[in-house]
Amino acid sequence: MSKYEEGLKLIEERCGDGKDNLLALATISIEKNVEGNITPQVRDVDAYYEEGVFYISTHAKSTKMREISQNKEVAFSVCGQWISGKGIGENIGWVKDEKNAEIRAKMKKYFKWFDEVGGEDNPDSIVLRVTITKATVIKDHGTVVYVMDFVNKKEQGDL
């Protein structure tokens, strides 16, 4: 098994199989700071993981979605799991859209809070898909580190 495959296996064990993962999701702010520079913005979101992708229930008009509409590149850290990386964020539409039926069913199953606060009848209740491009997975308190290139499906040097 290659290091890339070992890293994938760890991500699946830690994040997959219907787990409600807490992610720190970073975007690039639309607003500039007092010096005129763009800055990162970070917030916690719930996500489930499947085959190199995190799925997040959110509101289409949220700050993160406005920021992603300007710059699709995001960064993330799976809280408590020693996994971080970069990806591409994409609004894939209303959670009740027929094309999202399978994702919606999984959100209802995996996110205990979804029925109560998901707001799925609102057309602005959407699915944010974060497709991982690069990830770092740490094992055994840093004695083993997997630096993964998801685009080329291989282990690589430092991100």
What tens digit of pLDDT does each residue of 122-131 get? 999 999 999 9
148: domain CATH number is 2.30.110.10
Whose structure tokens read 């085959």? 51
* DSSP assignment of the chain: --HHHHHHHHHHHHH-TT--EEEEEEEEEEEE-TTS-EEEEEEEEEEEEETTEEEEEEETTSHHHHHHHH--EEEEEETTTTEEEEEEEEEEEETTSGGGHHHHHHHHHH-TTHHHH--TTSTTEEEEEEEEEEEEEEEGGGTEEEEEETTTTEE-S--
The total number of structural domains that make up the chain: 1
Q: What are 32-68's pLDDT values in tens digits? A: 999 999 999 999 999 999 999 999 999 999 999 999 9
DSSP bridge pairs for 127: 57
Enter the tokens of residue 133.
Answer: 């491009």
pTM for the model: 0.95
Which residue range is the domain that position 18 belongs to?
3-155
- Given the structure tokens 């760890």, which residue do they identify? 10
Instruction: pLDDT band for 157, please (50, 70, 90 cuts).
Output: low
pLDDT at residue 156, as a whole number = 86
